[in-house]
Chain A
Amino acid sequence: MNYLVELSSSCETSSQAIGGKAAMLAVLQQKGFTVPSGYCLPVNVYHEFLHQTGLDSFISMELQRKDFAAMRWEEIWDVSLRIRNHFVTRVWPQPIKQKLLEDIRSCSTRWPATAVRSTAPGEDSNTQSFAGLHESRVMLRNPEAVLEAVGTVWASLWSDGALLYRHELGLDPGKSGMAVIIQEMVVGEVSGILFTKAPQDRKVMMAEAVWGLNQALVDGTIEPDRWQLDRTTGKVSTRHEVKQTVAMRPASYGVELQPLNEQERQQSPLNESRCLQLHRIGCQLEELLGAAVDLEWTFSKDKLYILQARPITATLSPQADDQRPWYLSLHRSLENLEELQADLEQEVLPGMDRDAQQMALADLTVLDNHELAEEYAQRITILNRWLQVYKEKCIPMAHGLRLFGEFYNDLVKPEDPYEFVGLLHSDDLLAIQRNRQLHKMAAVLRDSPVLLEQLKDNQVIAPGHPFRAMLDEFAEHFSGMNWVLQGGLDLYGWLIKLAEEKNGFCDSASESKENAFLQTLDSAEREFAARMLQVARASYLLRDNDNLYLGKVRAGVTAAEQEIRKRLAAGAGQGLENLLPEKASPNRLFSRDESPQGDRSTSTVQQRPRQLVGQPAGPGVSSGLARVLDDSNTLADFKRGDVLVCDAIEPNMTFVAPLAAAIIERRGGMLIHGAIIAREYGIPCVTGIPDATRVIQTGDHLSVDGYLGIVTIDRDEQ
């Protein structure tokens, strides 16, 4: 062997060299526990690979591009995706590849299939648990696939979850390394996790179990049966059984969920005999390790295998404001996302729409003040409920994009890690449909000066007029979207503005690359890829549309607020005085005086930014005058060719996007609303510019590099 070290001979090797998981399996194997046979690829090979390929400097560049603490979770996803793609596309140095393949061939040909698992030094100690943060690959059937999986597992050292967790623990990512376990794939009939001290009740043991492989349990796709066992006797004390219908099992391409047979459906994957065996092993491990343990196990042909074991992380009790569990919950399996998609399409969005419609139809003017106050309170309750649903369901759905992105990048190995976005273009985006209809109406006005004058005079367009029909159709489809209210412009005003633009509007054309992509795959991959793509497209579409539906609900609250303000202003608002939130003065939030990085004029030094670095979110280069949206009324001044600078593109603001030369957002990430819209229209876009609306002034001449994520404020041009 050149690189691989047999697990059974590794128990003297330090966990710094082979990682905590491998070190533990080595000890267990030496003590006679049944562990799948396997080898370890030590962490020094990872460092050798990084050094020889130059990846170490790429990772350093990615990590230091921006202050980690200033990044939103979406930006951390992007960093992780780009680092992962460096691993995927990097050509293996020939000497490492040759030696490693030789090793893999000599060990794995004895096995029907191989599993590749992460084992990072420092993980899974008494105070840290990286469980679920790094990747594993299972059911690999040839040495080349195993080699590729090694790269993917190495890359998972930089998963967004792992980056966040290291940051939380104050660990230096630059000093991280990853070893890999390459072991025989044991295909169990029943698998699960044993907690020798149950998380909820540390006086009992708890066994969780599913049919088939335990991947579906670990990633939360299948809810397991949970049996509590007496810690002393192993006797079953409580059974919580769910009706399992599917199991994760080997497929022609990796693993997949398969329906259970009738016999399996009728019984629990656990029984008393299995529980007794688990209890016995659990007690032995506790004695060996001197601590309570989590144990991943599988039964194959009635033989119990330990897949991994780790001491229970007792000191990591979550803080009340700890967002990490939520971040980690954003990772969903394909099956989970398919379910989520159905829920969003069939329940959530129609529900939001229903509530919004009801609010839009209600005539607030007929309510007395008491009734209006109640209606307002009810609308806020409804909005808050949907905001919570948005966080729990809509944001995790965005993971579909990334899941497909990783899948696509693994297969195609593109230079541009965001090439996959080209497959997701959809004319079904509500914002695109709305903009298209607006521009169609503007074109009619442009050809009809009489009609244009009528609109300018605020004349009512007579029923039966074709343009009236277009207006009605627009109102029907996009009613309640409060961009009209927030933008300080009415629909007529905006149409007149669009009509008076010299140039018409062109939709961006995006040719479907789906066929080209799918044709490169074999039939097994193709079926899986088609499902992935379907979920990714839904995710892309919903990522935009859910914002618009939420905007419609919010419009209901705004309408009630406006009615309250109207009555207060007219002196008829008795009982409504203290209902409304303090309205921020237009410039308060964006005052340059408060800026930590804006212009600083003193008697000695005047500071101003020249070049700002964010995330490249829409390719292309453009320049123009800045239009900073620090007050929604400035939308009215927006001109074609301006560079739109904003804190975050609100979904209901996107109608100005097609006119922009470029878009700059303070919020970062490739998956945020503004970035999606910019890509749809082919507009250069840079996101994640800290304090963008503070440091850039309306009228600044900007050069926007959407390839590199750089914004230059060119005052010499002014």
Chain B
Amino acid sequence: MTNTKEWDMVVELLRQQTFAVLGTSRQQHAYASLVAFSATESGKSLYFATTRATRKYHNLAIDNKVSLLVDNRAEQNMPLYEAAAVTAYGVAEEINDQARSEALQSYLVKHPQLKHFATAPSTAFFRINVEEYHLVQRFQNVTEFCINR
């Protein structure tokens, strides 16, 4: 496992934050939506849930390449240099098999209040297989992480 303060920051953001902005695309137009997410310890996979009627679900059915922005915004007056954000790039896939129940279990540890929503038959559960993370901190410092699969 990589052991640098930058990677630690990525892991911390994934662990601490509950919501993230999911980027999908539709007819070559970017589409952003807020999702509740969780991450595996290795950072290789991210999970989120959405109902099948949503725009994002339709978008994913056509193009499953996504990005997910996780940041540490807490208040409006937060100093710019304390802001940190990590963008994950990868491919999303709906999981329905045995993996779903394991992933869902860990997802619900982070979001117990979403149990009803996440387990509903109309809800799709997605895994993002992360290829890269881009961390931005101290306003302009950018570090990339390639995830070897």
Contact = CB atoms under 8 A, between A and B. Distances in A.
B43 A610 contact: no
A606 B138 contact: no
A290 interface: no
Question: For chain B, which range describes its interface: under 10, 10 to 19, 20 to 34, or 35 or more residues?
Answer: 20 to 34
A608 B147 contact: no
Contact of A610 (B79, B82, B142): B142
B42 A611 contact: no
Given A64-B81, A600-B2, A608 B139 contact: no
A710 B139 CA distance: 11
A597 interface: yes
A14 interface: no
A165 B6 CA distance: 29
B102 to A, nearest CB: 19
B142 A609 contact: yes
Given A604-B148, A605-B43, A610-B144, A65 B138 contact: yes
A65 B43 CA distance: 28
Contact of A606 (B44, B80, B141, B148): B148
Interface in B112-149: 134, 136, 138-148
Given A60-B81, A605-B147, A606-B146, A65 B139 contact: yes
B42 to A, nearest CB: 6
Contacts of B19: none
A263 interface: no
Given A64-B81, A607-B2, A613 B145 contact: no
Contact of A603 (B79, B140, B148): B148
A131 interface: no
Given A65-B139, A607-B144, A609-B144, A596 B81 contact: no
Interface string A50-68: 0000000100110011100
A710 B144 CA distance: 16
A608 B146 CA distance: 8
A605 B7 contact: yes
Contacts of B140: 611, 613, 708, 710
A596 B2 CA distance: 11
A199 to B, nearest CB: 41
A61, A600, A603, A710 — most chain B CB neighbours (10 Å)? A600
A665 B148 CA distance: 32
Nearest to A708: B140
Nearest to A603: B148
A421 B140 CA distance: 26
Nearest to A605: B2
Contact of A61 (B3, B81, B148): B81
B130 to A, nearest CB: 10
Nearest to B137: A613
A388 interface: no
A351 B12 CA distance: 58
Interface in A594-647: 596-597, 600, 602-613
Interface in A523-572: none
B4 interface: yes
B1 interface: yes
Contacts of A608: 143-146
A60 B139 CA distance: 12
A608 B143 CA distance: 6
Nearest to A712: B142
Nearest to B80: A61
B89 to A, nearest CB: 13
Given A61-B139, A613-B140, A605 B134 contact: no
A596 B4 contact: yes
Interface string B1-25: 1111011000000000000000000
B138 A613 contact: yes
A586 to B, nearest CB: 26
Interface string B41-52: 011100000000
B38 to A, nearest CB: 18
Interface string A514-526: 0000000000000
B81 A65 contact: yes
A168 to B, nearest CB: 22
B4 A607 contact: yes
Given A605-B43, A605-B146, A64 B2 contact: no
Interface string A63-85: 01110000000000000000000
Contacts of A611: 136, 140-142
Given A609-B142, A613-B138, A64 B82 contact: yes
A718 to B, nearest CB: 14
A65 B138 CA distance: 6
A248 to B, nearest CB: 42
A293 to B, nearest CB: 40
B43, B79, B136 — most chain A CB neighbours (10 Å)? B79
A605 B144 contact: no
A52 to B, nearest CB: 15
Contact of A607 (B6, B44, B141): B6
Given A596-B4, A597-B4, A597-B6, A607 B81 contact: no
Given A61-B139, A612-B141, A607 B82 contact: no
A603 B4 CA distance: 15
Contacts of A597: 4, 6
A66 B81 CA distance: 9
Interface in A20-74: 57, 60-61, 64-66
Contacts of B80: 57, 60-61
A611 B144 CA distance: 9
A64 B144 contact: no
Interface string A145-164: 00000000000000000000
A707 to B, nearest CB: 12
Contacts of B139: 61, 65, 613
Contacts of A607: 2, 4, 6-7, 143-146
28 contacts: A61-B139, A64-B82, A596-B4, A600-B7, A602-B1, A604-B2, A604-B42, A604-B148, A605-B7, A605-B146, A606-B2, A606-B146, A606-B148, A607-B144, A607-B146, A608-B143, A608-B144, A608-B145, A610-B142, A610-B143, A611-B136, A611-B141, A611-B142, A612-B142, A613-B138, A613-B141, A708-B140, A710-B140
Given A604-B44, A606-B146, A607-B7, 9 more contacts: A61-B79, A61-B80, A61-B81, A600-B7, A604-B148, A606-B145, A607-B145, A611-B140, A613-B138
Interface of A: 57, 60-61, 64-66, 596-597, 600, 602-613, 708, 710, 712
